[in-house]
Amino acid sequence: MADIHAACFTQPRPWSAAEFADLCASPLCQVSTLEGGFAITRRAGPEAELLTIAVHPDARRQGKARALLTESLTELQSSGCEEIFLEVVADNHPAIALYKAAGFTELSYRKDYYNGVNGSKSAALVMRKIL
């Protein structure tokens, strides 16, 4: 997971193997995986958050993220979760297209939310889907 994440992200920064081990060990987290990609959600009562979704650059545009997201959402829904939120860098058009196609809508815009390299800042979109 850490290798795929590092191949996918500079901002937010890639997460370490130790951070993934902690997430995978948490009873609140649900992990969906397939060859070249994964998604992690975290449950908080009736709500969940999509913590991350990543597909290695060599495995993109094959429907893998859609399959991961569908699996995650289906499992949350069947366990009684009512809504899911996510944050995404506001100019991450592939991810935003993925989320909109899955039924997420824009909830708010957070200016200068992410810290980038060389002191740069990026806005975030907060998105939500009712399950």
Ligand X SMILES: CC(C)(COP(=O)(O)OP(=O)(O)OC[C@H]1O[C@@H](n2cnc3c(N)ncnc32)[C@H](O)[C@@H]1OP(=O)(O)O)[C@@H](O)C(=O)NCCC(=O)NCCS
Q: Is 92 in the site for ligand X (CB under 6 A)?
A: yes
The residue range among 14-22, 26-34, 97-105, 118-126 that interacts with ligand X, by the rule CB under 6 A, is 97-105
The residue range among 24-32, 95-103, 113-121, 122-130 that interacts with ligand X, by the rule CB under 6 A, is 95-103
Q: Is 66 in the site for ligand X (CB under 6 A)?
A: yes
- Nearer Cβ to ligand X (80/95): 95
Amino acid identity of 30?
A: Q
Residue of 63, 108, 116, 120 interacting with ligand X (CB under 6 A): 63
Task: Provide the minimum distance between the beta carbon of 116 and ligand X in the complex, in angstroms, as a whole number.
Answer: 14
Q: Is 101 in the site for ligand X (CB under 6 A)?
A: yes
Report how far residue 9's alpha carbon sits from residue 62's, in angstroms, rounded to the nearest whole number: 19
For residues 9-28, which are near ligand X according to CB under 6 A?
9
Reading the block at residue 40, the tokens are 């992690």
Q: Is 111 in the site for ligand X (CB under 6 A)?
A: no
Task: Provide the minimum distance between the beta carbon of 90 and ligand X in the complex, in angstroms, as a whole number.
Answer: 11
